[in-house]
Amino acid sequence: MPTHAQILPLVFDKVSYVAKGARLVDEFSVTLDPGTRTIILGPNGAGKSLVLRLSHGLLQPTSGAIRWEGPGGGNKASLHQAMVFQRPMTLRRSVGANLDYVLSLRKVPRELRRAKTAEALKRAGLFAMRSRPARVLSAGEQQKLALGRAWVMEPEVLFLDEPTASLDPAATREVENMINAIHQAGTKIIMTTHDLGQARRLADDIIFMHQGRLIERAGAEEFFEHPRTPHAEAFLNGELLP
Amino acid sequence: MSEIWSALGKAMVLIADFDPDLVEIIGLSLRVSLTAVLIAAVIGLPVGAAVALFRFPGRPVLVVLINALMGLPPVVVGLIVYLLLSRAGPFGVFNLLYSPTAMIIAQAILIGPIVAALTRQTVEDLWQEYGEQLTSFGVGPGRAVWTLLWDGRFSLLTGVLAGFGRASAEVGAVMIVGGNIDHLTRVMTTSIALETSKGNLEIALALGIILLIIALGINASAYAIRDVAYRTES
């Protein structure tokens, strides 16, 4: 693994996000430390994706502050992050060229790019498809390509927004395996899901959100065994939240 | 009726023999229209992409202007370029009127807006899909323009082909600024107009057939491009 400048921890200080008069994220405060797979859990419309986009700098908070408090957390912090979206965006180029593109953005020399691309494609199980147009791959393969492309940037933090929401079970398993492999290689995972089973399989710690608010923050085992709030308990029991 | 058939036969002979006058006219037509398309693409592609991606003062005016210019009648473009290039006009000193250069300028003005408008639409649609991920990658504005132009290459090429089709088929603009001078500014469309009025149907028909073949070629190319795009991008 590359030596990171270390941008974590990520601190949310009373962050609110308002759009068209609606308070979609409300006084959200949390600290995210390195190491764990953090799952942001909650029903649809809880504000999970917005928190992810605010973290990654794709959106600016209406009020409050978001800080990368590690020694490397200056204005170069974005170089150490990557994000994978629910619907994978693949460039209209070959599978290999999709990886080469981000490496060239990171100014990796051409000779090195070829080797890194090949290695990343092997890790993603896509090496045999390296010359194919990326857009003809299946949804699951495209998502693995998006993950491989994020991985090749060797981020310190990887954001994932419901990465398996539109995939079948087999593809979901492969994507989850890849997420674990990326984590084991030293990357902090911050991921949203509304799928309880997935949260149980992947989470080290849970941030439970509802209606734009942080409801509960706990280690995964503690959260699933002994939820402290009625909202979390109701969600775990599969009830519809008010 | 037999007159038309005989003219058609003579036209075929002219084409088959590579008649030097015919070849000269076709050569000039292609040179003028291809150069105009090149200029229109060099200007229209980045302008269209910039209008799609960036918000700047005057942008709405530019969008309306580009869309309006798309449907401009060639004779009006010809008239405007004529006024600009004529002795009394602002660019009269360059002495460009009645030259192939004047025809290239007129056709570039005619098709530049087509290329720009199609580019704007293509790039805007792509940005809807790519925007968040490219921002996440940390792609700067210049690189984003280049990325979107490249990834939109099939649609954009179709747009450029449409521009070439319009340029090679128009008669009004090149007639006014070129003057249809023999061996100097005579192109296919202006020759057809002249020879038909003179009753030289065989030359007019021969040129008409060539123009038809060019139109067919353009559309076949556009179809092939769409086919490749469908197989690699769907």
| Nearest-CA distance B230 → chain A (Å) | 10
Report the pLDDT value the prediction gives residue A76, as an integer from 0 to 100: 84
Per-residue pLDDT at B8:
87
Q: Do B234 and A89 touch (CB under 8 A)?
A: no
In chain A, where the domains are located = 10-236
Q: For residues B167 and B103, is the Cβ–Cβ distance under 8 A?
A: no
β-bridge mates for residue A38, sequence order: A190, A205
B43-90 residue pLDDT tens: 999 999 999 999 999 999 999 999 999 888 999 999 999 999 999 999
Compute the nearest-CA separation of B62 from chain A (Å).
28
Separation of alpha carbons B55 and B131, rounded Å: 15
B137 to chain A: which residues are within 8 Å by CB?
Answer: 102, 105
Cβ of B231 within 8 Å of Cβ of A91? The answer is: no
**Tokens, residue B221:** 């190319």
pLDDT of residue A72: 87
Checking if the pLDDT of A70 tops 70, the result is yes
Q: Which chain B residues have a beta carbon less than 8 Å from that of A105? A: 137-139, 143
* Residue pair A123/A142 in contact by the 8 Å Cβ criterion: no
Distance from CA of A224 to the nearest CA of B (A): 32
How far A7 CA sits from the closest chain B CA (Å)? 16
Per-residue pLDDT tens for B108-132? 999 999 999 999 999 999 999 999 9
SS3 content of chain B, % helix, strand, coil (to 5): 80, 0, 20
Helix axes B100-137, B153-169, angle to 10 degrees: 170
Q: Determine which of A92, A93, A95 to mutate to test the interface with B (most B C-beta atoms within 10 Å).
A: A92
List, edge to edge, every strand of the sheet that includes A22-32. Answer: A22-32, A10-19, A63-68
Could you tell me whether strands A81-84 and A63-68 are parallel, antiparallel, or unpaired per DSSP bridges? unpaired
Cβ-defined contact of A105 to B130 (cutoff 8 Å): no
Q: Which of A82, A91, A135 shows the shortest C-beta gap to B234?
A: A135
Instruction: Mark yes or no for CB contact A133/B136 under 8 Å.
Output: no
Q: A92 vs B132: CB contact, 8 Å cut-off?
A: no
Contacts of A82 in chain B (CB under 8 A): 136
Q: Residue B232 and residue A105: Cβ atoms within 8 Å?
A: no
Confidence of residue A1 (pLDDT cuts 50, 70, 90): very low
Answer whether residue A155 shows pLDDT above 70: yes
Question: If you average pLDDT over every residue of chain A, what do you get?
Answer: 94
Task: For residue A9, say if its preceding peptide bond is cis, omega within 30 degrees of 0.
Answer: yes
- Rounded to the nearest angstrom, the minimum Cα separation between A237 and chain B is 35
Q: Report CA Rg, chain B.
A: 21
Class of the domain covering B2-233: mainly alpha
Nearest-5° angle of CA B118, CA B119, CA B125?
95
CB A65 within 8 A of CB A13: yes
Is B138 in contact with A91 (Cβ distance < 8 A)? Answer: no
What is the value of pTM for the model shown? 0.88
Cβ distance of B133 and A83 shorter than 8 Å: yes
B91 min Cα distance to partner chain A (Å): 44
pLDDT at A198 > cutoff 60 = yes
Burial of A169 (C-beta count, 10 Å sphere; 0-12/13-18/19+): exposed
Average per-residue pLDDT for chain B:
93
**pLDDT (0 to 100) of residue A80:** 94
Asked if pLDDT for residue A3 goes beyond 80, the answer is no
Cα-to-chain-centroid distance, residue A132: 26
- Summarize the confidence of residues A2-30 as an average pLDDT: 90
Among residues A134, A71, A70, the alpha carbon closest in space to that of A100 is found at A134
C-alpha to C-alpha distance for B189 and B201, rounded to whole angstroms: 14
Residues in A lying within 8 Å of B, measured between beta carbons = 53, 56, 58, 78-79, 81-83, 85, 89, 91-93, 101-102, 105, 133, 135-136
Task: Please say whether the structural domain A10-236 has been given the CATH code 3.30.1330.10.
Answer: no
pLDDT at A157 over 70: yes
A–B CB contacts, 8 A cutoff, strictly below = 43
Note whether B232 contacts A135, CB cutoff 8 Å. yes
Closest by alpha carbon to A141, among A172, A117, A115, A119?
Answer: A172
Q: Nearest CA of chain A to the CA of B128: how many Å?
A: 11
Q: Report the C-alpha gap between A30 and A101 in whole angstroms.
A: 34
Asked if residue B96 lies in contact with residue B102, where contact means CB atoms within 8 angstroms, the answer is: yes
Integer angstrom CA distances of residue B76 from B32, B36, B62, B175, B178: 19, 17, 20, 11, 14
Contacts of A150 (CB under 8 A, 6+ apart): A82, A83, A84, A158, A182
For chain A, how big is the Rg over CA atoms in Å? 18
> Who among B136, B139, B151 is closest to A56 (CB)?
B136
Q: Which residues of A touch B147 (CB under 8 A)?
A: 91, 101
Which residues in A lie closer than 8 A to residue B157 (C-beta atoms)?
Answer: none
Mean pLDDT for B144-162 is 93
Q: Which residues contact A218 (CB under 8 A, 6 or more apart)?
A: A205, A206, A208, A227, A228
Contact B135/A82, CB-based, under 8 Å? Answer: no
Of B137, B233, B234, the CB nearest to A102: B137
Residues of chain B with a CB closer than 8 angstroms to some CB in chain A: 129-130, 132-133, 135-139, 143, 147, 150-153, 231-234
Tell me the shortest Cα–Cα distance from B234 to chain A, in angstroms: 6
- Alpha helices by DSSP H, listed for A20-71, are 48-56
